[in-house]
Amino acid sequence: MLKDLGVEALVLERDAAASGSTALSSGFVPSAQTLAQKRAGIKDSIEAFSADVQSKAHGSAAPHLVNAYCFAVPKAIDALELNHGVEWHVLDQFLYPGHSQYRMHAVNEKTGEGLMNALLKAAERAELTLLNQAHVLELVLDSQGNIVAVGFSRPDQSMEYVKTQALILACNGFGANEELIREHLPAIANAFYAGHHGNDGAAVIWSKGLGAALMDMGAYQGHGSWAMGPGSLITWAIMMQGGVQINAKGERFHNETQGYSEAAVEVLSQPGSQAWAVIDAELLDLAMGFPDFVQAQKLGAVKRCEDIEQLAKLIACDVEVLSKTLNWPIHDEALAIDQPLQDGKLAHARVFKRRLKPPYFAIHVTGALFHTQGGLSIDEHCRVLNSSGQAFKNLWAAGGAARGVSGNAVWGYLSGNGLLSALAGGFLAAQSVTQHIRSQGS
């Protein structure tokens, strides 16, 4: 219980019910050394996880946050399990791009909605007060730059104010703010935004008045597999296990195993800003384990083609080009390690161990923006920093409101960096605020 810790917390949420991008997400949270990972017999370490985060960002991710988040996230996940009964499972059928071990944690439903429901139940259990339809529009400062109150609008447009000893900004990034996206992320400005409409960049906008520093504003999570008809996520697991992306000319155009975030830009640069995700029956089986995919399939996004001729007709491309594309050279593992750049280079630097078998299943996809990864500069306790690197006395930021751990570009995003920042950042900020409140007395 929060009151046992000597803290009275109030969450202000702009919507009628809290959901955010977390509920829209797949809900997969990466972590090493959790109880769930140990139960599954998976050997992993925090060092290996940190190295993967940093390696995906080519060493450019904020080191103090990579370290703090990779240490904090197993504590957050285990605390949700032990104190709030959240059941976690580790996805162990395939490795997400850049992860050296199985470490994606999901709740039973394997959806972001399931995760959000579990978090809301945990909040209720902890007797946290959640005020919906409270859209925060104003931060009130004293002469020393401390936050003394927060102003929020109510459904009848009236403004209300609440005093505070400490404030955590957890209002995510600026994915829904077209102007900020055009300014900071022009490469993805014309893409569909799949995140929450309420992520309008409030923290970035407030940073100016506060004198808070912004970092990594060029980083974001894109996704190269957004089903065009139904508008839903097509799991990247199928690409990691042998599926391919094919453009309107019937050709592959990138190495799909690099990561789904940078794949968004690759897909958007193809004719018509679109591509086809092509798989076979074996991969369809794998995909049907993902609720988002099942939903897309129900809505008619998955097209069955008996052979290469039918697939060429669907894509409206030359059958010979497509046939050459799908009959890629096959290597065994030893060859792949010894000679990764020979035939692999021709096939966009990817080495295949098998070919897709007919019938084929194809999904028409485009590139989408999922969320932004740049934001308020914070220290390892998630305290917001000003432009001289000094921490504000009573202001914290967690999740997408703060800079992430993906460096400063789209290719730096390791799968799960979004919820890693949200869960680990929330955990660290809450601990730091609790200490702050206790040190102040009431």
Binding site for ligand FAD (CB under 6 A): 12-15, 18-22, 24-28, 135-136, 170-172, 194-196, 198-199, 202, 221, 233, 370-371, 399-400, 416, 418-420, 422
Query: DSSP string of 29-71?
Result: EE-SS-HHHHHTT----HHHHHHHHHHHTTT-S-HHHHHHHHH
CB-wise, 122 or 321, nearer to ligand FAD?
122
- Residue 291's closest CA among 105, 420, 114, 103? 114
User: How wide is the angle at C-alpha 415 spanned by C-alphas 411 and 421, nearest 5°?
Assistant: 100
Q: Which is nearer to ligand FAD, 61 or 308 (CB)?
A: 61
The residue written with tokens 């103090």 in the block is 64
Torsion over CA: 247, 251, 253, 257 (sign): positive
Question: How far from the centroid of its chain's Cα atoms is residue 47's Cα?
Answer: 21
Cβ closest to ligand FAD, residue 27 vs residue 344? 27
Least distance in angstroms from the C-beta of 437 to ligand FAD = 21
User: Shortest gap between Cβ of 111 and ligand FAD (angstroms)?
Assistant: 9
Per-residue burial over 200-239, b = 16 or more CB atoms within 10 Å of its CB, e = otherwise: bbbbbebbeebebbbbbbbbbbbbbbbbbebebbbbbbbb
Q: Which is nearer to ligand FAD, 98 or 418 (CB)?
A: 418
Q: Which is nearer to ligand FAD, 372 or 394 (CB)?
A: 372
Nearer to ligand FAD, 53 or 312 (CB): 53
- Smallest gap from Cβ 70 to ligand FAD, in A, equals 14
- Closest approach, Cβ 143 to ligand FAD, in A, equals 24
Report the residue number, 100 or 323, with the smaller CB distance to ligand FAD: 100
We find the least distance from the C-beta atom of residue 304 to ligand FAD, in angstroms, to be 25
Can you tell me the distance from the alpha carbon of 154 to that of 133, in angstroms, rounded to the nearest whole number? 6
Sign of CA dihedral 172, 417, 419, 27: positive
Q: Report yes or no: 294 and 288 within 8 Å, Cβ to Cβ.
A: yes
Report, in Å, the least distance between residue 69 CB and ligand FAD. 11
Which lies closer to ligand FAD via its Cβ, residue 351 or residue 395? Answer: 395
CB of 233 to ligand FAD, least distance (A): 5
Q: Residue 123 Cβ, how far from ligand FAD at the closest point, in Å?
A: 12
CA distance linking residue 201 with residue 178, whole number of Å: 10
CB of 149 to ligand FAD, least distance (A): 14
Could you give the residue ranges of the DSSP H alpha helices within 221-273? Answer: 237-240, 260-268
CB atoms within 10 A of CB 142: 9
In whole angstroms, give the CA distance from residue 104 to residue 34: 11
| DSSP type of residue 390 | P
Between 287 and 317, whose beta carbon lies closer to ligand FAD?
Answer: 287
Q: Which two tokens stand for residue 52?
A: 């993967």
For 316-420, strand residue ranges (E) read 360-372, 375-376, 383-385, 391-397
Q: What's the token pair of residue 394? A: 């009573």
Nearest distance, CB of residue 372 and ligand FAD, angstroms: 9
Judged by beta carbon, residue 25 or residue 408, the one nearer ligand FAD is 25
- Residue labelled with tokens 């597999």: 225
Kindly report the backbone phi and psi dihedral angles of residue 268, in degrees, each rounded to the nearest multiple of 5, phi listed first: -65, -20
- Least distance between ligand FAD and beta carbon 150 (Å): 9
Is the Cβ of residue 155 or residue 329 nearer to ligand FAD in the bound state? Answer: 155
Q: Which of 227, 371, 347 is nearest to 299 (CA)?
A: 227
